[in-house]
Structure 1
Amino acid sequence: MKVTIDNITLEVEPGTTIMQAARMIGPEIAPPAMCYYEPLKGTGGKCRGCLVKVTAGSEKDPRPMPKLVPSCITSVQDGMIVENTINEQVLETRKGIVEFLLLNHPLDCPVCDQAGECHLQDFSFEHGVSATRTVEDRNTFDPVDLGPYIKLNMNRCILCYRCVYAADQLTEGRVHGVMHRGDHAEISTYIEKAIDNDFSGNVIDVCPVGALTDRTYRFKSRVWFSKPEDAHCDCDKCSGNVTLWYRGDEVIRVTGRKNEWGEVKEFICNTCRFERKKTSDWVIEGPTKIARHSVISANKYGANLIQPSFPIKQAALEYKLIDDDRDRSFLPARKSLPSSEKK
């Protein structure tokens, strides 16, 4: 099937979604995704961050779709024409989506362990606005320990359901989910049951914000002060392919390896994640390649840091020309310094 996204035409297999087709082009065209997680079946369609405009449904029926559609769950049709980054309605809608996601989100970035690798930070930095219109009190929840390894800060949760799908598909018995409805909805365990199974730690990796964090890593280091290294070991439970995060010579945390979209390639077990914190436990392969623009790149061992367009647009929007017509005749003339003093 042929599909055109932002004036770029490509051929894809039947059943491909608009999101998957856009990712084939590259990160500069692909819509943002807060709930969609390709390795997990059934994800997508909840955060509405990936809305796009379909200006032509197909070659047989070229009529545009009346509303914006979520690209992560909308299949491509032959001859479909999609607008993402070039459509003003899409860009304006994303500002509203960011504002909605931040309605109850606290300003925890200075103390949150997810800062620097948070997808909500990326989303709001690229598509958000600098001001807020909300004056109502935010929903607040007390932090909860979900077992010995996982801390839940429900204040930061955006209800993307990723952790629920991960528990459903990676473990034998899920003991947590979304409780209540509407603005009272929250992630919780059944009757305060602890999340404790061999692959429970993967809910930390799939969480796009700092709602589910590693209790063994909390407040130890900022991600941009860490050095990620690819490593592997012989494990009878999982592939053993991980990323080790170093602070000096100390392994401060272990995570699954992620692709350029921030999605784990192969889920790892709790033994590799929480109990193997020595270099001698691993075979080091080399520095991790940081494919996405990230503050992790600032430490000189990842890809070059790509500056997002949002701060440049924001500076241009708020730039003000100063009309200064004061009389400066009374000021002494500026003398140029000798070249030796300039140096």
Structure 2
Amino acid sequence: MKVTIDNITIEVEPGTTIMQAARQIGAHVAPPAMCYYEPLKGSGGKCRACLVKVTAGSEKDPRPMPKLVPSCITQVQDGMIVENTTSPQVLEARKGVVEFLLLNHPLDCPVCDQAGECHLQDFTFEHGVSKTRTIEERNTFEPQDLGPYIQLNMNRCVLCYRCVYTADQVTEGRVHGVMHRGDHAEISTYIEKAIDNDFSGNVIDVCPVGALTDKTYRFKNRVWFTKPVDAHCDCGKCSGKVTLWYRGDEVIRVTARKNEWGEVQDFICNTCRFERKKTSDWTIEGPMKVARHSVISANKYGASSIKPAFPLKQAAEQYKQIDDNRDRSFLEPQKQLK
């Protein structure tokens, strides 16, 4: 099937979604994703971050779709024409989505371990607004321990369901899920039952924000001060392919390897993630490939060539020239003191 996205035409297999087709073209065309996670079946269709405009449904029926559609669950049709970054309507809608996601989200970035790897930070940076219109109090929750290795900070959760799908499809038994409805919905366990199985740590990797955090890594370092390297070991439970994060000569955390979309390639076991924190436990392959626009690349590459449109636009609109004709007579007493 032929599909055109932002004036770029490619051929894809039947059953391909607009999101998958856009990713085949490249990162400059692919819509953002907060809930969609390709390795997890059934994910997507919840956050509306990936809304796109279909200006022609297909070659047989070229009528446009009346509303914006989520690209992660909408399959392409032969001759379909899609607008993503080229549509002002799409960009305006995403501003609204960002505003909704931030309704109850606290400004924890200065203390959140997810800072620098947070998909919500990236989404807000690219499509967000600089002001909030809400005056109501935010929903607040107390931090909750979900076992010996995982802590849940529900204040930051955006209800993407990724951790629920991970527990359903990767682990042997799921004991947590989404409780209640509407604005009372929250991720929780029944009577705070601990999440305890060999692959439970993967819910940390799939979380797009800092809601599920590694208790062995909390507050140890900022991600842009670390040195990530790819490594592997012989493990009987998982692939053993991981990323080691160094602070000096110390391994401060271990995560699964992720692709260019921030999705886990191979889920790893808790033994590799939490218990193997020595270099001697691993065979080092080399530095992790870091995208140049990522904050993780700080002090590792030169200046980024990618300049997001949103911050430049905000700077142009809000920053003003300094008036140099101000009265400086108040400086005279200071000169006399010198």
Q: Give the structure-2-normalised TM-score.
A: 0.94
Cα shift at 1:307:
3.6
Cα shift at 1:308:
2.5
Look up the match of 2:54.
54
Q: Sort the Cα spacing of 1:174 and 1:57 in 2 relative to 1 into closer, same or farther, 3 A.
A: same
Look up the match of 2:263.
263
What amino acid is the match of 1:156?
R
Separation in 1 of the partners of 2:256 and 2:264? 6
For residues 91-170 of structure 1, what are the structure 2 equivalents within 5 Å?
Answer: 91-170=91-170
Separation in 1 of the partners of 2:305 and 2:6? 25
* 3-state SS of 2:298 partner: helix
Look up the match of 1:77.
77
Partners of 2:116 and 2:295 within 8 A in 1: yes
For residues 1-343 of structure 1, what are the structure 2 equivalents within 5 Å?
Answer: 1-291=1-291, 293-300=293-300, 306-320=306-320
Separation in 1 of the partners of 2:126 and 2:276? 37
The one-character-per-residue Cα deviations of 1:133-189 (angstroms, maximum 9, x if unpaired) are 000000000000100000000000000000000000001110000000000000001
The one-character-per-residue Cα deviations of 1:108-127 (angstroms, maximum 9, x if unpaired) are 00000000110000000110
Could you tell me the percent identity over the aligned residues?
Answer: 87
Separation in 2 of the partners of 1:74 and 1:131? 32
* 3-state SS of 1:197 partner: coil
Separation in 1 of the partners of 2:304 and 2:314? 23
Separation in 2 of the partners of 1:158 and 1:320? 35
Separation in 2 of the partners of 1:80 and 1:303? 38
Q: Sort the Cα spacing of 1:305 and 1:258 in 2 relative to 1 into closer, same or farther, 3 A.
A: farther
- Where in structure 2 are there 5+ consecutive unaligned residues? 329-338
More divergent stretch after superposition (11-20 vs 300-309): 300-309
Cα shift at 1:310:
2.0
Look up the match of 1:331.
none
Partners of 1:289 and 1:302 within 8 A in 2: no
Q: Sort the Cα spacing of 1:64 and 1:325 in 2 relative to 1 into closer, same or farther, 3 A.
A: same
Separation in 2 of the partners of 1:311 and 1:106? 21
The number of residues matched between the two structures is 328
Look up the match of 1:333.
none
Cα RMSD (Å) of the superposition? 1.8
Cα shift at 1:304:
5.2
Separation in 2 of the partners of 1:112 and 1:326? 42
What amino acid is the match of 1:80?
M
Separation in 1 of the partners of 2:303 and 2:246? 18
Partners of 1:289 and 1:303 within 8 A in 2: no
Partners of 2:118 and 2:210 within 8 A in 1: yes
Q: Sort the Cα spacing of 1:207 and 1:97 in 2 relative to 1 into closer, same or farther, 3 A.
A: same
Q: Give the structure-1-normalised TM-score.
A: 0.93
Separation in 2 of the partners of 1:56 and 1:290? 37
* 3-state SS of 1:299 partner: coil
What amino acid is the match of 2:44?
G
Cα shift at 1:318:
1.6
Partners of 1:17 and 1:72 within 8 A in 2: yes
Separation in 2 of the partners of 1:56 and 1:230? 44
